[in-house]
Amino acid sequence: MDLSNLNKEQREAVITTKGPLLILAGAGSGKTKTLTSRIAYLLEEEKVSPYEILAITFTNKAAGEMKERIIDLVGFAGEKIWAGTFHSMCLRILRMEIEEIGYKPNFVIYDETDQQSLLKQILKEQNLDEKSFPPRLVANTISNFKNELLDPKGAKRYINGDFIMEKNVELYEIYQEKLKQNNAVDFDDIIMLTVQLFKANSEILSKYQNRFRYIFVDEYQDTNHAQYTLIKLLAAKHRNICVVGDDDQSIYRWRGADIQNILNFEKDYPDAKIVKLEQNYRSTQAILDAAYSVIKFNSERKDKRLWTDKKGGELIDYFTALDEEEEAFFVSREIKKRVVSGENTFADFAVLCRTTAQFRVIEENFIKNGIKYQIFGGMKFYSRKEIKDVLAYLKAIANPDDRISLARAISTPKRGIGEASWNKVNQYADENNIPITLALLDAAAASVGAKAGKAMVEFAEKMVEFQALSAEIPLHLLLETVLEQSGYMQMLNEEKDVEAMSKKENLEEFFSIVTAFDRDHEPSAENLSHFLAEVALYTDLDNLNDKENTVTIMTMHGAKGLEFPIVFIVGMEENIFPHARSIASMAESEMEEERRLCYVALTRAKEKVILSRSLAHMLYGRTNRNMPSRFLGEIPANLLNDLSYRKKQNSFSTSNGLSHKPIQPQNMDKAEKFNIGDKVAHNKWGIGVVVGIKGAGDDLEYKVAFPEQGIKTLIAKYAPIKRA
């Protein structure tokens, strides 16, 4: 096999085929190329069967790209390896083996909305107030337990006399019982139940240990305790485990990722070989130097320094705006200037934010200035009400025990079935230990009123018909039948408003997805479950369209694994980035995670990084004056180029037609002083009244009430106001 296209370290990783291997792959160092070449080497040179290779990634998109590259290298054999996410791999195992732990193979996966519905139902049954036990917080607590592989019994040791924790554990126990009753699992169960299965049945574990003699795990720094345990179990027999990752890019601590998994790899495998990939093929040296100057302040890391053949590169631009609106205008101006000149297209740019709350002002400015964009991190397609409605029907068809989906389907459209009637049927099913569908068909015996009972029987009969059809007709025809015969399309047709039109368009898009699935799958009840599993494991990034000519707006967390020619990082201020929560925690581990996030954001750029901050920033309805981000101070001055027109008045231009006027600073010695009650004129917001004064000198602030804008806090030193 020709390895001449690999560098020395990459080749070393590829030909190391036996035993534990840790590949420390810095950002943009060709880790996917190395990983796929190593798999191809095993197939071509070591004659390993593709059925014995398991490759795990964190997104479906990454798994698909990996498989395509392997097929390009070795042909059809690449089709036969298992390549997917942790959840997709575990789901395949559970579909075949879950009966061993008391579930049926046609189980459904509950998403966040389904979880909330089930928890609300439980809270009501337990007479607990949702304000005291918010379902979202209870769900997070349960998720944390599962990520640590703690079942309700194991979670009890964390009560320690805490009443709230005691109730959370009780709710967890009831929640798990209800899930099993509904033949449902949640997202965290998929891995936890697989681990439980392996620990409970040594024969099944041995089967998969022998099946996967060679295991690859990408993004190992992002694994949580459950994922770590799963891999350790699978690799225990043959120990041919290759993990690829970068501790400097471990940014998911808030969802359970444990950086110690990669830092302690040699402790788990004392005979492990370590290969560092430090040659970067993405960014300029200036960008890499800036990123290293930030990350080197972290103590929990394995030392490595990225370098590139691309010497030099443009300096890191840095801009200080008066407020977040001017900051957004600056981003628009820079993008449009480069696009109008022909240097770049919109697709070359990404705007990275610490939080989704920063999206609004950027989006508004882009709309105003005709800049095409796409946002990642907003409402996902599968989270829309109409999509969740039809998915509820499909879930209930695939799994008639799923009471949460049945409850949603039976109430949409409205059929005159109230909550009391639904509860009676549920109670009847529990008392007689019969499936909920049979209870619906026997609604009269459940003491349900005549009108509601008739509607229940009609609904149940339709669902039984749909279940029979699911094994006989393609999924798109089943969906069409369900929408028509359930009355759902009639409900939308009767609404006759813009929102209903939008819902229909989304359903048409869903039809396209279902039709595409049908091209590769024959009609069967099993394939309906397979489709629902694909949908449940779908992530927003799987839909990232890098072919569209649009600017990408996303969070720094969402940008991991991506690259763009030019990257804007906005909100470089204390309390925004690093986040106020991390500062308030006083924990060094929290600040190190923020610093890693900065490293990730910087290394998304191939050619250019542009940083910006505001002197006054309104976020979550409050205006604050934040200090510059500490990360700015960690980048050497010789790598920064200050674009602030306050220092370089001549460099500011509005010749590209953007709808904004520059705000010029006032000289404090000559600036007019105002008192409470004075009327002032602002060149953007019009006439206002001074309603508050705070501070003195450079820190003097005016609170001014404007008729349309509300109360604004203006820094006197820079405020573009004069007496009206």
| pLDDT tens-digit map of 116-154 | 999 999 999 999 999 999 999 999 999 999 999 999 999
CA distance 698 to 700: 6
Q: Is 547 exposed, middle or buried (0-12, 13-18, 19+ CB in 10 A)?
A: exposed
Asked whether the predicted pLDDT for residue 657 surpasses 50, the reply is no
Active-site entry in 69, 503, 604, 606: 604
Q: What is the pLDDT of residue 379?
A: 54
CB atoms within 10 A of CB 505: 11
Identify whether the C-beta of residue 658 lies closer than 8 Å to the C-beta of residue 325.
no
Asked whether the predicted pLDDT for residue 648 surpasses 70, the reply is no
Question: Token digits for 561?
Answer: 């694994």
Between the CA of residue 190 and those of 65, 91, 106, 394, 573, what are the distances in Å? 24, 6, 14, 20, 39
Asked whether the predicted pLDDT for residue 508 surpasses 60, the reply is yes
Task: Name the pLDDT band for 545 (thresholds 50, 70, 90).
Answer: low
Confirm whether 181 is a catalytic residue: no
Give DSSP secondary structure letters for 350-370: EEEESSGGGHHHHHHHHHHTT
Q: At what angle do helices 285-295 and 588-602 cross, to 10 degrees?
A: 180
Active-site entry in 97, 186, 218, 594: 218
* Buried/exposed 106-143: b ≥16 CB within 10 Å, e otherwise: bbbbbbebbbbbbbebbbeeeeeeeeebebeebbebbb
Active-site entry in 11, 31, 282, 336: 31
Asked whether the predicted pLDDT for residue 666 surpasses 70, the reply is no
Question: Token digits for 486?
Answer: 């359930």
Q: What is the pLDDT of residue 310?
A: 81
Confirm whether 273 is a catalytic residue: no
Q: What is the pLDDT of residue 255?
A: 83
Q: What is the pLDDT of residue 207?
A: 97
Q: What is the pLDDT of residue 423?
A: 93
Active-site entry in 219, 402, 442, 701: 219
The per-residue pLDDT of the chain, averaged, comes to: 89
Q: Which long-range CB contacts under 8 A does 67-76 form with residues at least 24 apart? A: 69/32, 69/33, 69/36, 70/36, 70/39, 70/40, 73/36, 73/37, 73/40, 73/44, 74/40, 74/43, 74/44
CB atoms within 10 A of CB 617: 21
pLDDT tens-digit profile of 401-416? Answer: 999 999 999 999 999 9
Q: What is the pLDDT of residue 386?
A: 92
Active-site entry in 16, 17, 32, 355: 32
Active-site entry in 223, 249, 412, 437: 249
Task: Name the pLDDT band for 64 (thresholds 50, 70, 90).
Answer: confident
DSSP reduced 3-state for 150 = coil
Between the CA of residue 401 and those of 284, 407, 523, what are the distances in Å? 56, 11, 21
481 or 664: which leads in pLDDT: 481
Question: Token digits for 97?
Answer: 């083996």
Q: What is the pLDDT of residue 384?
A: 85
Q: What is the mean pLDDT of residues 351-376?
A: 91
What predicted TM-score, i.e. pTM, was given to this entire model?
A: 0.80
Question: Token digits for 667?
Answer: 């000289």
Q: Is 549 exposed, middle or buried (0-12, 13-18, 19+ CB in 10 A)?
A: exposed
Q: What is the mean pLDDT of residues 496-515?
A: 83
Identify whether the C-beta of residue 368 lies closer than 8 Å to the C-beta of residue 659.
yes
Query: Is the preceding peptide bond at 413 cis, omega within 30 degrees of 0?
Result: yes
Percent of the chain with pLDDT over 70: 93
Q: What is the pLDDT of residue 541?
A: 58
pLDDT tens-digit profile of 365-419? Answer: 999 899 999 988 655 677 889 999 999 999 999 999 999 999 999 999 999 999 9
Identify whether the C-beta of residue 89 lies closer than 8 Å to the C-beta of residue 97.
no
CA distance 104 to 94: 10
Rg of the Cα atoms in the chain: 29
Give DSSP secondary structure letters for 151-216: -HHHHGGG-TT-HHHHHHHHHHHHHHHHHHHTTEEEHHHHHHHHHHHHHH-HHHHHHHHHH-SEEE
Q: Which of 445-454, 636-645, 656-665 has the lowest mean pLDDT?
A: 656-665
CA distance 270 to 724: 76
Angle, alpha carbons 135-257-9 (nearest 5°): 155
Q: What is the pLDDT of residue 239?
A: 97
Confirm whether 308 is a catalytic residue: no
Contacts (Cβ under 8 Å, ≥6 apart) of 595: 294, 295, 297, 298, 578, 631
Question: Token digits for 450?
Answer: 């005549």
Confirm whether 32 is a catalytic residue: yes
Q: What is the mean pLDDT of residues 262-285?
A: 96
Question: Token digits for 213?
Answer: 């003699």
Confirm whether 673 is a catalytic residue: no
pLDDT tens-digit profile of 7-63? Answer: 999 999 999 999 999 999 999 999 999 999 999 999 999 999 999 999 999 888 888
DSSP reduced 3-state for 130 = coil
Residue whose tokens read 């639904």: 422
Asked whether the predicted pLDDT for residue 720 surpasses 80, the reply is no
Q: How far apart are the first and last CA of the chain?
A: 79
Query: Where does 379-474 have alpha helices with state H?
Result: 385-398, 403-410, 419-432, 436-441, 450-470
CA distance 194 to 56: 15
Most confident of 54-68, 470-484, 544-558, 700-714: 470-484
Confirm whether 219 is a catalytic residue: yes
Identify whether the C-beta of residue 401 lies closer than 8 Å to the C-beta of residue 529.
no
Asked whether the predicted pLDDT for residue 651 surpasses 50, the reply is no
Q: Could you tell me which of 518, 544, 543 has the C-alpha nearest to residue 531? A: 518
Residue whose tokens read 């040296």: 285
CA distance 690 to 703: 6
Asked whether the predicted pLDDT for residue 172 surpasses 80, the reply is yes
Q: What is the pLDDT of residue 699?
A: 65
Identify whether the C-beta of residue 143 lies closer than 8 Å to the C-beta of residue 226.
no
Q: What is the pLDDT of residue 511?
A: 87
pLDDT tens-digit profile of 570-587? Answer: 999 999 999 998 998 888
Sign of CA dihedral 538, 542, 548, 552: positive
Q: What is the pLDDT of residue 711?
A: 77
Asked whether the predicted pLDDT for residue 610 surpasses 80, the reply is yes
pLDDT tens-digit profile of 434-452? Answer: 999 999 999 999 999 999 9
Asked whether the predicted pLDDT for residue 538 surpasses 90, the reply is no
